[in-house]
Structure 1
Amino acid sequence: MHRRKLLAGLAATAAAPLLGSGIVQADEALLGELLVARLRDAMLGLGTAAPASEAISTDFTRALADFDACRYESLAVRLPRLIRAGHALTANGEDTEQCSLLAKSYLLATRMFVKMDEQQLGWMATDRARQLAETAGDVLAVAESARQLAVLARKAGWHDQALSIALSAADHPDLRGIGLAGSAVRGLLVQSASYTLARRGDRDGMRELTDEAAAIAKELGGATLLRDHGGGFSPLTVQLHKISAENQAGDPHAALDAARAISLKELPSVERRSRALGDIAVTYDRLGRRNDCVRTLLAAERCAPQETHARPATKSLISSLLVSGPTSTELRGLATRSGVLA
């Protein structure tokens, strides 16, 4: 009896944020934690599953649009619900289409976990995505699972393993048989390996692989491909990659040059524009250009307020600015809205 009461109480607590309209008017500084908690519970099979819908592909499209637009308040409802529904639809058999959609949902969750520095949950989501993608025979999702696995290995400091995962996946023969999309995935995987070399301090190797990714993008004719997998691959997104890669390799001047070559309006999503502004803010910080750094962070907030207020990397930069020099009303306001204390 005690056990049943305890489980009932825990279930009620878990369900509470989902009552009413389903969307909580949460403090944006806490949206990341809310989203992570709901995804964790959905992955653990906790909470009440929504009725499985045959329109799950439409639900995924909407969740992807929320991610691209940095609408994390909406995503905190939609993506966990999508994962629960996906499991309900695949519970009684290995439906190829549903397995593929659930794999993509887990990959979207992984991208969110990476943003929120939730590596343990990221490993779990990526492994599930890989298994589901292999069951479905979805070559693109298998390759994207490998890319996310390489990202997580790099974050863990396993640089050799991250390189091996990304480059082995890029060379897989299956990618060469699916046309332009396969080439674009290869480009994203090469970029991932390039960034790992940057983190390892190998500037020449990073630039060599970045040039290889740029060559692949050029061969594809300049179109933005893979919006529903890696967030887009094109010559412009390779240029965006250069900002963070040059920063990590220790050359913020080269990173700033790369940033100047980008038109933010041409980037394929709000999420990509926000990421670019975040990378540019880091560049200014490393160059000691404090005012430009704050100005860029404020531009990022105008572009994507929920991401700016929720993302740990941005919070860390704001916190550093608060203690490293004179503050301004604008910086203190941004810190307050982001839940950062001096």
Structure 2
Amino acid sequence: MERRAVLTAALATGATITVGTQPATAAGPLPRDRDIAAARRAFTEGRYAQLHQALPRLLAAADHTTTQELAPAALARASQVLTLAAELATKLGHTRHAARYAARATEAARCSGHPLALALAVRAAATPLRRTGRTDLALHLLAEAHDHLTGHRGSASALDTAGMLALTTAYTAAQSGRARQALELAERAEETAARLNRLTGHQDRPGLTHAHCTLYRIGIHHHLGDPDTALAHARHLTDTALPSPERRARRATDTARALLAAGDPAGAFTQLLAAEAAAPQEVRRPSLRDLTAAVRAQRPGLGGLADFAERITPSRTPN
């Protein structure tokens, strides 16, 4: 079966499966901060195969945590694990599994009382909700999570979280054609990034930065049907301004989509190659294979494109 199908099963059945050589157990110790941080690094660096090997044990611990009467901090950590599972399922195009894990992450975060954990979980929930036609619910949950930050907004972490929520909400609004809301929220995120930069004094941190806002602008304007503005933002964004391979691959991917919409399939293919260089596992995702097929439909004879399409197609092994 396809390697991706193994991971699908892992996400579908949580802590009752075996992934790779790592057996999952029915229950485990509470999720540890260092293990969650390592899993998060695997995600941001585009090392999805490594993350899928780590997830079963983390999910077993999260399952154990959410069924016990445990401290808020433990529930917040469990929410972070479930959020990662939702994000990875989203990357793989498995919307139903992503929705399931995001819902569990949101519930654990609510029970923990930690607004930052809730914000992360809701951001993970937005995409599967959007993909299943529940954009209004996604926008409602994002606004609610933003409101929960009241009383914490003077801190750098709260500003960072509020700005990222604004970007996710703007992107969600753009995908449903709500231009005014999308642009207002994108501007709000940029203002928050400027405030955060004044507070922390540097722009090369992870999280909300002006570069991150520019990255989201590419996708926002593309979804609003304005590829020229999207590409103008792309031209002002360099890879060095983005902190992780996953973000650099997203820049290339969103730029590729805008270029294709602008009638430049050759430029779009160049960006797909850039995405592969940044994070090779990123371009093996279903949505990237669909984008590659769209480029190929416009320019079937483009040099190197057939080899690229074959390279990113998952190999099959016997059942």
- Length-normalised TM-score, structure 2: 0.87
Spell out, residue by residue over 1:290-323, the C-alpha distance to the aligned partner (whole angstroms, 9 max, x if none). 11111111111111111112x1111001112223
Spell out, residue by residue over 1:176-195, the C-alpha distance to the aligned partner (whole angstroms, 9 max, x if none). 35622122222122222212
Contact 1:133 1:142 in 2 (8 A): yes
Deviation of the 1:80 alpha carbon: 2.1
Structure 1 residues 49 and 34: alpha-carbon distance in aligned structure 2, compared to 1, 3 A threshold: closer
Deviation of the 1:340 alpha carbon: 7.9
Q: Which of 68, 71, 80 is the equivalent residue of 2:56?
A: 80
Measured in 2, the distance between the counterparts of 1:198 and 1:226 equals 27
Contact 1:252 1:286 in 2 (8 A): yes
Measured in 2, the distance between the counterparts of 1:200 and 1:79 equals 32
Q: What SS is found at the alignment partner of 2:128? A: helix
Structure 1 vs Structure 2: percent identity of aligned residues? 27
Structure 1 residues 340 and 318: alpha-carbon distance in aligned structure 2, compared to 1, 3 A threshold: farther
Matching residue of 1:330: 304
- Length-normalised TM-score, structure 1: 0.81
2:177 counterpart of 1:217: no
Structure 1 residues 260 and 204: alpha-carbon distance in aligned structure 2, compared to 1, 3 A threshold: same
Spell out, residue by residue over 1:109-135, the C-alpha distance to the aligned partner (whole angstroms, 9 max, x if none). 111122222221112111111222223
Contact 2:205 2:243 in 1 (8 A): no
2:300 counterpart of 1:321: no
Structure 1 residues 197 and 134: alpha-carbon distance in aligned structure 2, compared to 1, 3 A threshold: closer
2:11 counterpart of 1:39: yes
Matching residue of 1:182: 158
Structure 1 residues 330 and 169: alpha-carbon distance in aligned structure 2, compared to 1, 3 A threshold: same
2:91 counterpart of 1:122: no
Letter in 2 for 1:39: L
Measured in 2, the distance between the counterparts of 1:281 and 1:83 equals 34
Measured in 1, the distance between the counterparts of 2:78 and 2:31 equals 13
Contact 2:31 2:58 in 1 (8 A): no
Q: Which of 236, 261, 269 is the equivalent residue of 2:211?
A: 236
Contact 1:171 1:186 in 2 (8 A): no
2:224 counterpart of 1:249: yes
2:291 counterpart of 1:284: no
2:294 counterpart of 1:294: no
Q: What SS is found at the alignment partner of 1:183? A: helix
Contact 1:243 1:258 in 2 (8 A): yes
Measured in 2, the distance between the counterparts of 1:186 and 1:175 equals 12
Measured in 2, the distance between the counterparts of 1:32 and 1:225 equals 34
Farther-moved stretch of structure 1 (238-247 vs 173-182): 173-182
Structure 1 residues 316 and 173: alpha-carbon distance in aligned structure 2, compared to 1, 3 A threshold: closer
Letter in 2 for 1:245: I
Q: What SS is found at the alignment partner of 1:198? A: helix
Structure 1 segment 1-342 matched on structure 2, within 5 A: 30-42=2-14, 45-47=16-18, 48-50=23-25, 52-53=28-29, 56-88=32-64, 92-172=68-148, 174=150, 176=152, 179-221=155-197, 223=202, 232-309=207-284, 311-339=285-313
Contact 2:11 2:89 in 1 (8 A): no
Measured in 2, the distance between the counterparts of 1:206 and 1:173 equals 20
Measured in 1, the distance between the counterparts of 2:286 and 2:154 equals 37
Structure 1 residues 172 and 55: alpha-carbon distance in aligned structure 2, compared to 1, 3 A threshold: closer
State the structure with more CA Rg: 1
Spell out, residue by residue over 1:195-224, the C-alpha distance to the aligned partner (whole angstroms, 9 max, x if none). 222122233332222111100111111656
Measured in 2, the distance between the counterparts of 1:168 and 1:136 equals 16
Measured in 1, the distance between the counterparts of 2:48 and 2:314 equals 19
Letter in 2 for 1:214: E
Letter in 2 for 1:301: E
Structure 1 residues 133 and 126: alpha-carbon distance in aligned structure 2, compared to 1, 3 A threshold: same
Consecutive unaligned residues in structure 1, runs of 5 or more? 1-25
Deviation of the 1:170 alpha carbon: 1.6
Matching residue of 1:14: none
Contact 1:31 1:306 in 2 (8 A): no
Matching residue of 1:16: none
Across the aligned residues of Structure 1 and Structure 2, the Cα RMSD in angstroms comes to 2.6
Matching residue of 1:11: none
Structure 1 residues 235 and 33: alpha-carbon distance in aligned structure 2, compared to 1, 3 A threshold: farther
